[in-house]
Structure 1
Amino acid sequence: MNLIIKQLVDELHEDGVYLPNGDVRIGSFGDSEALSNALILLIATGMKRATCSLLWSWEFEGGVLPKAGDIEIVLDWHSRPTLVRRAVTVEIVPFARVSAEFAASEGEGDLSLSYWQTEHWRFFSEECLRIGRVVDESMPLVCETFDVLHRLK
């Protein structure tokens, strides 16, 4: 466990928040403060029970892919802990094969697959530009469902 994660876990422990066994990581949501706040609110209210990310971004960053059982301390836009969540399922799915059920579990917009595709295409287009890849319908996504263990705010 790296030093920053250990410090956060220790701070949570001091506040009476105990994390279950599992690999702990730090994460955040959204590419703007407004989107970050909106997504964290959706998670806190139980509307958002899933998330996805671009496999190519994990490879570009040299990150370790999440796996079922992983614990994530979710930071807000200002790097303050807001939630603790645990991955329930993790699978790699091409963009074009994301299901309507998964899209709805992300809890965004009108919960439709069409809305999900439009918004995520925008997001992943920007991400592909950042990492030097070309966005396409076969791009691999890390699709994760989760449970919220603690709401910290």
Structure 2
Amino acid sequence: MIPHSLRQKYPHAETFTFGDSKALCDQLLALVRLGKKTATCGALRDFSEDGEALPAVGRQDISLNWDGTPALVIETTEVKVRRFCDVDAEFALAEGENETLEGWQAGHRAFFERNSGFDREMELVCERFKLVEDLA
């Protein structure tokens, strides 16, 4: 579903979708577009050779709408692996979804419980990024 011209412009881009539902995906894309979301995280267990590729500093990736069409292009500026219990307020608030660390913890705990399980000690891939291009 990625147009050839977009693949040519971003030849090394991975594709991914924010969230685990259309509503969450739409909300997170809107936060990126507003400049409120400059970070994201995922369970380390979900990244593998057969699954989603780890983010890489400097790589530009294409975030998809829930229907699989391209939404925007981001560039990774930082990647750190941290345990859930070690995520600090600065990173949590950079995700743009909550006003407090406690709100981030509650929301992400619920997300991980819906998606293969939660543990306070679980390792997360914590990524900071910048918006490169809005494809809307």
> Is the structural similarity TM-score above 0.5?
yes
1:1-153 to 2 correspondences below 5 Å: 8=2, 10-12=4-6, 18-19=9-10, 23-59=12-48, 61-110=50-99, 112-129=100-117, 135-153=118-136
Contact kept? 2:14, 2:53, Cα under 8 Å: no
Sequence identity percentage: 36
Q: How far does residue 84 in structure 1 lie from its aligned partner after superposition? A: 0.3
Larger Rg: 1
* Distance 1:9-1:86 versus aligned 2 partners, 3 A rule: farther
RMSD: 2.0
Contact kept? 1:103, 1:113, Cα under 8 Å: yes
Distance 1:53 1:28 in 2: 12
Distance 1:24 1:101 in 2: 27
Give TM-score, length-normalised by structure 1. Answer: 0.81
Contact kept? 1:57, 1:127, Cα under 8 Å: no
Give TM-score, length-normalised by structure 2. Answer: 0.91
- 1:11 is matched by which residue type in structure 2? S
Output one character per residue of 1:83-120: Cα deviation in whole Å (capped at 9) or x when no partner: 0001000010000000100001000032x100100000
Higher helix share: 1
Provide structure 1 residue ranges, at least 5 long, that are not aligned to the other structure. 130-134
